[in-house]
């Protein structure tokens, strides 16, 4: 009985290892261009470099350059009829292009938006409002960068005259 259990566990382990080690090889590296936007641009640039480096896709001297910018907008929403609950919605938009410096053309474009809400405290004196905004902006930026890098790992960068 124990031999059967051990053989089943061994088969499960082998199948899991074979599934996780089937990562395609990445044939190119990318660099990151200067990102405008003060603090938000710095966060985006650091996130891009970090995640690209983790995937083995970052090289400062690459011909493929990521030109990206991020923007955040805030909207106030009243969610109850009696106007007692206010929420603030933060929309974050990431726009990125892969520019081939050797051929001087854009090989890939990426546009994505994500939104999050938080409950707004009743006074401007609460630091929780500004802390929530900064955390949501950081989380949105991180999510958008992860999504971009995952898509880039599957793309082939080819110049297209129609782009």
Residues 116-156: tens digit of each pLDDT: 777 666 665 566 667 777 888 888 888 888 888 888 877 77
Pairwise CA distance, residues 57 & 151, whole Å: 12
Instruction: Tell me the sheet residues that pair with 92.
Output: 72, 114
> Would you list the DSSP string of 80-100?
STTS--EEEEEEEEEEEEEEE
- State which residues form the domain around 109: 28-152
Specify if 158 maps to a domain: no
pLDDT grade for 66, boundaries at 50, 70 and 90: confident
Residue 65 lies in a domain: yes
Inter-residue contact 68 to 44 (CB < 8 Å): yes
Domain annotation covers residue 86: yes
Mean pLDDT, range 61-82, rounded to an integer: 79
pLDDT the model gives residue 21 = 45
Domain membership flag for residue 5: no
How many domains is the chain partitioned into structurally? 1
Residue 2 lies in a domain: no
Is 16 part of any domain?
Answer: no
* Model confidence pLDDT, tens digit, residues 101-113: 888 888 888 898 8
The answer to whether the beta carbons of residues 90 and 73 sit under 8 Å apart is yes
At 45-62, the pLDDT tens digits run 888 888 888 888 888 888
């Amino acid at each position: 009985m124990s031999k059967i259990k051990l053989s089943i566990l061994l088969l499960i382990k082998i199948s899991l290892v074979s599934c996780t080690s089937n990562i395609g090889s990445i044939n190119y590296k990318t660099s990151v261009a200067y990102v405008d936007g003060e603090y938000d641009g710095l966060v985006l640039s650091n996130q891009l470099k970090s995640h690209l480096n983790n995937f083995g896709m970052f090289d400062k001297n690459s011909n493929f350059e990521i030109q990206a910018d991020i923007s955040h907008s805030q909207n106030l929403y009243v969610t109850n009829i009696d106007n007692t609950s206010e929420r603030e919605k933060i929309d974050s938009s990431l726009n990125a292009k892969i520019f081939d410096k050797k051929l001087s053309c854009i090989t890939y474009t990426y546009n994505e938006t994500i939104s999050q809400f938080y409950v707004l405290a009743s006074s401007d004196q609460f630091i929780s409002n500004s802390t929530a905004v900064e955390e949501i902006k950081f989380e949105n930026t991180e999510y958008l960068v992860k999504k971009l890098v995952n898509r880039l790992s599957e793309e082939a960068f080819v110049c297209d005259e129609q782009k």
